Amino acid sequence: MAADIIAIYPGSFDPLTSGHVDIIRRGSHLFGRIIVGVLLNRDKSPLFTVHERVDIAREVFAGYTNVEVDTFDGLLVEYARRKGASAIVRGLRAISDFEYEMQMALMNRHLNPDVETVFMMPAEPYTYVSSRLVKEVVALGGSVHGLVPEIVEARLREKRLARETLRA
């Protein structure tokens, strides 16, 4: 039964976008528990620290009793085993996500056949949203209103102001 299943949704979430939120919400309806696993130390120069990313996700999902936010390092299937998770959730935006995601899913299955990867599609308005693009737009002074949770919009504004103050 899906309701008994613990799922892991891994990613860098630098920052959390409305696309991520959409996938986590869908996962929370489907699975007994969904663990948002923030990957440690992948990007050498992230915009938000792992600590900030975890805080943001915890705040956004404060009202969800079956959403947990955690960090992990090393092999994803090992982390899943430690957490008692039998599903990995990934989001698919477009065909361009497919090749990489298929390789990862099949490699993870090779490493641990007991963990199933489940793909979900976000609501259409989020199919073009990525953390990288959000950061690019913000750096160039564009608005990402609605494409990220409000708390992320506020934190992005703070970062921008801090940078401008440093430059002044």
Concerning whether 143 is annotated as a catalytic residue, the answer is: no
Binding characters for ligand ATP, 94-133, by CB under 6 A (x = yes): ---x------------------------x---x--xxxx-
DSSP state at residue 62: T
Concerning whether 20 is annotated as a catalytic residue, the answer is: yes
Reported as half-sphere exposure (CB side, CA atoms, 13 A), residue 118 has a value of 21
d(CA 153, CA 128): 17
- Regarding 53 and contact with ligand ATP (CB under 6 A), the answer is no
Catalytic residue among 12, 20, 90, 155: 20
Could you say which residues in the range 7-46 bind ligand ATP, by CB under 6 A?
11-14, 17, 19-20, 23
Residue 150 exposed, middle or buried by CB count within 10 Å (0-12, 13-18, 19+): exposed
d(CA 156, CA 11): 19
Catalytic residue among 25, 58, 83, 93: 93
Binding site for ligand ATP (CB under 6 A): 11-14, 17, 19-20, 23, 90-91, 93, 97, 122, 126, 129-132
